[in-house]
Amino acid sequence: MARAHTQILKWTAPPDTDVVGYNFRATPATDPMNYSVDEVNVGNVTQVDMGQLANDGYTPLIDADGNFNLGVSALDDIGNESDIAVKPDVPLDFVPPGPPTDLQVLP
């Protein structure tokens, strides 16, 4: 099985004391970022390994090779969600090359 490389998206937590987690979203750079984009809850962290999300099957990244809008929103303890902070037009490549072929053992 091929592996995706690591690319970390990092952010600064808001000052609110009731934040309990974050939603991560990704769209092709040509598509708008909004709440209808599928999200993955990444927990109460301030960075995410996008390569790991791709390896775990997060659909927008699984075959990512191109430019993407990346979004993160904060969630509070009663389920309110913040505006989505967006990093636009980020080049990503989680598509590995094909394997070598015609392996030979020579004398």
Whole-number Cα distances in Å, 33 to 5, 44, 55, 69 = 24, 21, 22, 7
**Partners of 91 in the β-ladder:** 67
Task: Report percent pLDDT > 90 for the chain.
Answer: 70
pLDDT band at 3 (very low <50, low <70, confident <90, very high): low
pTM: predicted TM-score of the whole model, two decimal places: 0.84
Q: What letters, b where the CB count within 10 A reaches 16 and e where it falls short, cover 21-43? A: ebbbbbbeeeeebeeebebbebe
Q: Which two tokens stand for residue 34?
A: 């909004």
Percentage of residues in the chain with pLDDT exceeding 70?
95
Q: Tell me: the pLDDT tens digits for 38-84?
A: 999 999 999 998 888 877 878 777 777 889 999 999 999 999 999 99
- Tell me the mean pLDDT in the region 20-25: 96
Backbone torsions φ then ψ of 12, nearest 5 degrees: -100, 130
Tokens describing residue 92: 């990503």
Cβ-contact 60, 81 below 8 angstroms: no
The predicted pLDDT at position 2 comes to 61
